[in-house]
Amino acid sequence: MNDEKLPSTRERILAAAAAILAEDGLAARLSVRAVAARAGVSTGSLRHHFPTQRDLRDEVTHRIFDWVARSSRIDDTSRPARDRLVECLGGILAAAGTGPHAREALATAVRTFVTAEQTEQVRESYLAIERDTHNRVESWLASLAEEGALAGNDIPRSARFLSTVVNGLAFERAMPAQDALTERERETLHVAVDAVLRTHA
């Protein structure tokens, strides 16, 4: 009966990959052999669940964000679409931290992705994070489009715009700022969301 509580092979693989990234940084190489050995599975089993290293990195990046960010309530139709989308974007922003945590997060990002040698591994690691953020925002917009809150013909561009706004706010969090930063952030997110909803009205 205890076997029912054991994590699945897929979950063990993801946990192993996450542990490697936690130890060696987000740009660490997730080699098939290293991840399989850490998870206690065969390389064939790993390939069965994740045929490519990109598949593995994308999924573990997605899981890591799920662990550190607030859950999405985009489907809560009892609340206005505008408020739900602002809250979801705020969840991404919250993962950046505030004050010293935001500064350390930015410094780590610069060391990992900007000043580091621009290898294919570094590039793919960054793109996995970018894809995950963009896909999340797209999924939220698609949900709102299904409700009729916006048209669905230009969701990718709107998602890119909103992601860029959130990235800018995350950068601002690491800078010396006034005490009213949180209120300014919400105001900015409201303006950005209003622009998207108005454009698609």
Neighbours of 28 (CB within 10 A): 17
Task: Compute the residue count for the chain.
Answer: 201
The amino acid at residue 193 is V
What is the predicted pLDDT for the residue at 1? 43
Computed on alpha carbons and rounded to an integer, the radius of gyration of the chain in Å comes to 19
Q: Are residues 68 and 95 in contact, defined by beta-carbon separation less than 8 angstroms?
A: yes
Span 69-199 CATH architecture: Orthogonal Bundle (1.10)
What residues in the chain have per-residue pLDDT under 50?
1, 200-201
Question: From CA 139, how far away is CA 107, in angstroms rounded?
Answer: 29
**What secondary structure does DSSP assign to 11-30, as a single string?**
HHHHHHHHHHHHHH-TT---
What is the predicted pLDDT for the residue at 19? 93
What is the predicted pLDDT for the residue at 69? 67
Residue located via tokens 């950068």: 171
Structure tokens at 114: 């900007």
Q: Do domains 2-53 and 69-199 have the same CATH topology?
A: no
Q: How far is CA 82 from CA 33, 51, 58, 156, 190, in A?
A: 46, 39, 28, 18, 8
Contacts (Cβ under 8 Å, ≥6 apart) of 18: 60, 63, 64
Domain ranges of the chain: 2-53, 69-199
Q: Are residues 125 and 57 in contact, defined by beta-carbon separation less than 8 angstroms?
A: yes
CA atoms within 13 A on the CB side of 57: 23
Classified as helix, coil or strand, 79 is coil
What is the predicted pLDDT for the residue at 127? 94
What is the predicted pLDDT for the residue at 85? 96
Question: From CA 5, how far away is CA 131, in angstroms rounded?
Answer: 32
Question: From CA 46, how far away is CA 69, in angstroms rounded?
Answer: 27
Question: For 2-53, which CATH class?
Answer: mainly alpha
The amino acid at residue 181 is L
What is the predicted pLDDT for the residue at 129? 92
What is the predicted pLDDT for the residue at 184? 87
The helix (run of H) or strand (run of E) holding residue 49 is: helix 43-49
Structure tokens at 7: 């994590």
